[in-house]
A = this chain, B = another copy of it.
Amino acid sequence: MQVAVVGGGAWGTTVAAMLAARADVVLWAREDEVVGAVNARHENTMFLPGVDLPENLRATAEIEEAVHGRDVVIMAVPAQYVRSVGSALVGLLPPAVPVVSLTKGIEQQTLLRPSEVLAEVLSAKSEQVIGVLCGPNLAREIAAGEPSATVIAMADELRAAELQRLLTNEHFRVYVSTDVVGCEIGGAVKNVIAIAAGMADGLGFGWNSRAALMTRGLAELARLGVALGGDPLTFLGLAGSGDLVATCCSPLSRNRSLGVELGRGRSLEEVMADKRAVVEGVATAPGVLALADRAGVEMPIGAEVVAVLRRERTPLEALAQLMGRAPGSELHGLTRQRPT
C-alpha cells in the first residue's frame, strides 16, 4: 500500500510512523524544519521530539509529490486549515482513493465538520470514502507503543474494513463504525469539555467534581451528536466516553493543559504564547456552541468554556455556575434523573 499522511504534527507523524512498518508512507509537512529533521534524523524535532521514526518514512514539503499515486490519503491538519490544505489536493486524487481525517474540531466560519469540509472541497470524491479516525489517541503514548484502541468511521464499510486492516497492529486496535457524524462530533466536543475539566483541576477541584463535569460533558456531547444524526451508542464507546476520559484526564492533553493553566489564573494570551502546537478546543468551542444553538441543543459546559475564553467569566465563576448552582434540568432528556 502507498499512503500519504498530510500534516506533520504529533498525531500525523505518529500515524505515519506506525504505517511505515507495513506500507510505503510519505509525510507532508508545512514546516521545512519538520521535513528536514524527518528525512535527515528520523525525528520530528518540532512536534514529536525524542521519538525515533522509522528510516523508511520520508517527508516532503511538496503536497503534490506527497499524494501522487497514493492508495490512501490521511489528513492530519488542524481544523481551521482543513479547507486550505484540502484545496491543494483538488484534482490530485482519483475518486476511489479514500481520505481519512484525523482532525478533531469544527471549522469556525462554516460550522462544518472536517469531513464535510473535505467533501465540499474535494467535490469530485464520493462522501462514501471520506472517513475519520477517532478515539483515545494521545500521540505520545501511541508513539511509545502503549496499547490503545480506536475507531475508523466511513460510510463505505468495506473500504473502512480495508483501512482497519491497514491501521491495526499489535498495540493499536481499530474498530469499524459507519457513524462519521457521531465520531466527529465526539472528537470535536471532547476538546471543549477537556478545557473545562482542566480548569476544574487547575482550580483544585477533586475527582467527584471532575467526574460529574465529565459526565455532564458526555451528556451534552451525546445530545449534540444525536441531534446532528449520530448514533447515541457511539458516545458510550471509544469515540465518545473513551476519548473524552483520556483527553480530560491525561497530562499529555493540550486542551486539558490549557484549562489547567487558565484555572490557575493565567490568561489565554499568556498560555497560548507558550504553545507551539494548535489547541483545537479554543477555535472549536464557539463553533460547537453555534452548532448546538442551531440544533436547539443546550450545552452549558460549552457555553461556560466560551465565556471564559472570551474573558466574560473567570474559570472559578464558570465552574461555580456549573457545579454549585447547576440548573436542575441539566441532565434531563438523556437520563431519567430529575432535577432539584
Contact = CB atoms under 8 A, between A and B. Distances in A.
A49 interface: no
B323 A176 contact: no
A40 interface: no
Contact of A241 (B215, B243, B324, B338): B215
A164 interface: yes
Given A177-B337, A231-B336, A242-B212, A219 B237 contact: yes
Interface in A149-200: 149, 151, 161, 164-165, 168, 170-171, 173-179
A236 interface: yes
Give the size range of A's interface with the partner: 35 or more
A337 B246 contact: no
Which of A164, A323, A337, A339 has the most B CB atoms < 10 Å from its CB? Answer: A337
A243 to B, nearest CB: 7
A231 B149 CA distance: 27
Given A177-B337, A336-B179, A214 B241 contact: yes
B246 A178 contact: no
Copies in the complex: 2
Interface in A187-237: 205-212, 214-215, 218-219, 222, 231, 233-237
Given A149-B212, A234-B335, A334-B236, A207 B241 contact: no
Given A222-B236, A237-B219, A177 B338 contact: yes
A337 B151 contact: yes
Interface stretch (A115-123, A133-141, A264-272): A133-141
A112 interface: no
A142 interface: yes
Contacts of A164: 340
A147 B323 contact: yes
Contacts of A144: 206
A207 B252 contact: yes
B146 A206 contact: yes
Contact of A243 (B179, B211, B331): B211
Nearest to A148: B208
A18 interface: no
Interface string A315-340: 00001000110101001001111111
Contacts of A215: 136, 236-238, 241-242, 245
6 contacts: A147-B208, A151-B337, A164-B340, A215-B241, A231-B336, A234-B336
Given A141-B206, A149-B323, 7 more contacts: A137-B208, A144-B206, A161-B338, A212-B242, A219-B236, A231-B335, A238-B337
